[in-house]
Amino acid sequence: MDTPKDCRSLMIGATGMLTPALHHAAAQATHMLNLARHATQFTPPPGVPKETYEAHDVDYENVKAVEQLLNAHGPFTTALTWIQPKALPLRDLIANHMRPQGHLIEVMGSAASRPGALADQRRATMAAFPNITYSQLILGFMPKDETSPTSRWLTHDEIATAACAILDTPAPRTIVGHVEPWEARPQ
């Protein structure tokens, strides 16, 4: 795939389990902004020129600081976020810093999948941004089976693989693993 002349990527909360997805996105970005509480301690993606990657230590609850960085580095072609459900003002701020036809991916925990919960709320909110490709990546669990006597949460590899796939092929909502039956989730 050819990289456009100005392909700006935003990563928020992608320095842990989403590291492979950050590396995947960096390969196609002409500029990447990585925001996390300890982003500067994170090793930049291999092979990415120093001038195309910037990391800033910022708590995303500090919306003013995040807004300053978004203003300085956006608008973004791609954004991958893993943030708390309560960060609704930040979510809308990110959407406002996307390019037309940009791709915004929100990674969410399994509780977001419940009827009327965060995933449904965000889908309704994002209807106000019709020129953004919006994707949700909901992290479920793996149910017990013949190889495992109990259900388990997803591994980092399972999560990262799904995030890389949705970066390449946008989908409105992708559930990794299972979210039903809800009672079968790990306790």
Res 124: pLDDT: 95
d(CA 97, CA 86): 19
Cis peptide, bond prior to residue 143, ω within 30 of zero: no
Crossing angle of helices 88-96/118-126, nearest 10°? 30
How many domains does the structure of the chain reveal? 1
Beta strands in 3-158 (DSSP E): 8-12, 31-36, 53-57, 76-82, 98-108, 133-139, 141-142, 152-153
Tens digits of pLDDT across the chain (187 residues) = 444 578 999 999 998 899 999 999 998 899 999 999 889 888 888 888 888 899 999 988 899 999 999 999 999 999 999 999 888 899 999 999 999 999 999 999 999 999 999 999 999 999 999 999 999 999 999 998 878 788 999 999 999 999 999 999 999 999 999 999 999 999 8
Tokens matching residue 125: 């909110």
Confirm whether 3 is domain-assigned: no
Confirm whether 17 is domain-assigned: yes
What CATH number is attached to the domain comprising 68? Answer: 3.40.50.720
Res 2: pLDDT: 46
Confirm whether 105 is domain-assigned: yes
Res 4: pLDDT: 56
Res 187: pLDDT: 83
Q: What's the pTM value of the predicted model, to 2 decimals? A: 0.93
Nearest to 54 by CA among 94, 11, 19, 97: 11
Confirm whether 109 is domain-assigned: yes
Confirm whether 2 is domain-assigned: no
Confirm whether 50 is domain-assigned: yes
Domain residues for the domain of 150 are 8-184
Res 1: pLDDT: 43
